[in-house]
A and B are shown apart, each in its own frame.
Chain A
């Protein structure tokens, strides 16, 4: 890009002038504070006399300001951090009111607040004469800054996801708060603390009204010296103030910086994954030893049963219609559907992250867990964004659920070793979470969920955040893992290939309802309705007339007797469906019908053709081999008659 030099230099000039405006007086005051006589100038000599004099006159104000600052910090930490957490967690009318409160230090002038405090509490002489009245003013002024700083960080790290992760491992309210919330909000708490302390030390508007001659603070002393002392003393006092404030400012900027840079390092992804993939393809047997180390009893797992579970959110959205579902012990069931179909809601009801509407019940085996919170359900959960705790390394993440359960150090170490070996991530033991690639995070998340030997394993779109290649290889590994540990698993995804590969059974959901439950083969070959047929794979429609024991359609005729399982009754016409791979290009004259090529896509192993049977809607078919096709060419198409199917029309159509 060509640089507009004229513009560049005029902007630079404005910036430098602004800088000069801000910095020159600072330099002047520093010089004035160490000059014997400011009017005469530096030639009168340099001296520390004024600074010594300031120390003698005003050192008490400095110590008082520091004390008030520390006390103010303590109060705002104790009151502000929990308040911020409350406001992030709970959106209620009280939260709206508190949000209004956050604008106060900017909206209501300090003078007015001080006046209000004086009128209300000024009659209490002991309080009025002590520095606690100043502290009260400072707390009201600074508390919102602390809350705001902590809220900002809590929203940016998605604290809710981390908490759900902790709860799924058995952490209760206080465990969540102290193990996950506070450590991860630390940068915000630190930034807020520095802000609060700096503001308190420099606060003047409130303090001037609230102070007494015996409770002067640093800024009050400054105002005093500016008004009644010679310029040199005021300047020297200002130097002292600068020296107090500079370290605080530098610390604030230092804190603000690393956060922007602390992003994961994805470039290692390819290399590491290649090694792991390599191992895992030849590792089918090697994964099995993990099975031996698992508790035998869990081989069978726990059955899950939902009866009459529905979910209506507070805003009235109906996420799940009344649903019954049975997952047999040790089975892997995949809930499949487009976004918004209720699949994640179903999973969260099983997990205990959402409560079902009245009347619904959740059973684990024979136990009714409907009213048991997630932390007591003993589930293992893998979240879409992993919900790994950034404040702990890999080993600590994996051991967290065991720590909550109060297991011994030896047991935790043993289990972590076992898990790292099973996931083939031994070398990551002491890594930080933000040093891991997506695939590695996924393995750690799985290890963490399994480490507690949960009754059921719940996976919420665990592969969605990964790229396609990684998804394929991890899918195979998850499949092997689930089979080897024989745990009851519920896996939510919108990817039909994942569902086909992993599920003992697939639950297809649509608009908050179960559209079909069946084995992958059933779902593919005998879809219950058009939605299922279209969602899983591609289908073609063939409209045919029933005439003299034949099906006649554009381009061809098939004797009804040739099609097994076809139940036509007394219809005069019928809609037949088939998948692209069940219609292939045949040698000339050997097909069931003829069609014209509209377009063709070479896919490598085969060629996908879009063909037109004169007036019927375009059909997608396949051609194997090396033959290439021209637009407009006529081809003979042979159908796999065993794979034709009909559908019961769905109610929506």
Chain B
């Protein structure tokens, strides 16, 4: 490559680089600095890791995100492979319905859960008609679980369908010709072939659940998940140092999980939206 082209290349990367430095690297550095500016200095991290409430919140958030990830992978895996492999009337409508909520912001998802399982929700009316008791799940951890499931399923299904499309059908035919059962094929062919896709979409699902704020914000502001705690520390308690420290902790966890997944699943993570 010749000198002039190198110069032009440097020129065209400049805008993105400036944006990246000025509005991400610099603010993130400030955030780290700010977390130690409180009365305790670096002691804030010790406080954070020894205060029962924070640790409990962290535990809840991780447990919730893991649960959502697992459930999403199972449901989306079954639906995605099924839709990719079978042709039947109405299939395209089902795919359209499953991917429609892809663009819903967290607040709208929260509202969907309120309509489904809230005080005036469908689930309440149905259970009241059957058992006489109104079942209201929306404003609790269960509601949050449903909400995260709601926004995770469409994302993961699209990834799984794309991955399933790439599986060589002749592999399955070969397994069949060797006498493999349906479960055998799922265990020996489908799941191994889907594994990179499952790892990467699972990691994204986990990361999104860890950082999701809108859904929890809509359902109730007193559910103990990390983003809500960060928000209340910042706005209500004006404890900027603790809010910053918690944000850094949250960022480190999600980034760590994504990096692990990326090394496990290879480049496929970059390709899945």
Q: Which residues of A contact B (CB under 8 A)?
A: 1, 4, 7-8, 11-12, 14-16, 18-19, 21-26, 28-29, 32, 38-39, 75, 78-80, 82-83, 85-86, 89-90, 94, 98-99, 101-104, 106-113, 115-117, 119-121, 136, 139-140, 143, 145, 147-149, 151-152, 173-174, 177, 195, 198-199, 202-205, 208-209, 219, 222-223, 226-227, 231, 234-235, 238, 241, 245, 248-249, 253, 373
Contact = CB atoms under 8 A, between A and B. Distances in A.
B9 interface: yes
Contacts of A249: 99-100, 102-103
16 contacts: A12-B82, A19-B98, A25-B113, A28-B115, A80-B16, A82-B16, A85-B12, A111-B250, A113-B27, A115-B243, A119-B244, A143-B19, A149-B273, A202-B105, A205-B227, A238-B111
Contact of A15 (B9, B82, B113, B213): B82
B98 A219 contact: no
A139 B107 contact: no
Nearest to B13: A86
A111 B17 CA distance: 22
Given A101-B20, A195-B273, A204-B213, A82 B12 contact: yes
Contacts of B8: 173-174
B59 interface: no
B214 interface: yes
A139 B247 contact: no
Contacts of A4: 182
Contact of B115 (A14, A25, A85, A113): A25
B114 interface: yes
B108 interface: yes
Contacts of A143: 16, 19-20
Nearest to B78: A14
Given A99-B270, A119-B244, A112 B100 contact: no
Contacts, number: 247
Contact of B217 (A90, A102, A208, A248): A208
A98 B13 CA distance: 10
Interface in B30-49: 30-31, 34
A148 B16 CA distance: 13
Contacts of A241: 108
Contact of B86 (A8, A78, A121): A8
B238 interface: no
Given A79-B19, A136-B23, A226 B240 contact: no
Contacts of A120: 26-27, 30
A102 B213 contact: no
Interface stretch (B50-58, B129-137, B187-195, B254-262): B254-262
Contact of A103 (B17, B149, B218, B262): B262
B210 interface: yes
Contacts of A235: 115
Contact of A111 (B105, B116, B227): B227
Contacts of A89: 9
Contacts of B202: none
Contacts of B75: 14, 18
Nearest to B19: A79
A198 B103 contact: yes
A22 B19 contact: no
Given A120-B26, A148-B270, A112 B248 contact: yes
Given A15-B82, A25-B113, A143-B19, A106 B204 contact: yes
Given A82-B15, A143-B19, A223 B218 contact: yes
A399 B255 CA distance: 50
Interface string B72-111: 0001001100110010100000101111111111111011
A119 B268 CA distance: 35
Interface in B155-198: 176, 182
Contacts of A116: 24, 27-28, 30-31, 247
B150 interface: yes
A248 B150 contact: no
Contacts of B102: 249
A22 B150 contact: yes
A231 B270 CA distance: 40
Which of A22, A85, A198 has the most CB atoms of chain B within a 10 A radius of its CB? A22
A115 B9 contact: no
A343 B116 CA distance: 67
A11 B97 contact: no
A204 B214 contact: yes
Rank and list the top 7 A-B pairs by shortest CB-CB distance, nearest first: A109-B211, A116-B27, A82-B12, A112-B247, A83-B16, A25-B112, A202-B105
B273 to A, nearest CB: 7
Nearest to B18: A79
A14 B79 contact: yes
B68 interface: no
A102 B122 CA distance: 40
Contacts of A94: 13
Contacts of B96: 253
Contacts of A86: 9, 12-13, 16
A14 B102 CA distance: 19
A25 to B, nearest CB: 4
B160 to A, nearest CB: 12
B271 interface: yes
Nearest to A199: B103
Contacts of A99: 270
Given A18-B75, A174-B8, A107 B207 contact: yes
Given A22-B100, A79-B19, A234-B111, A111 B153 contact: no
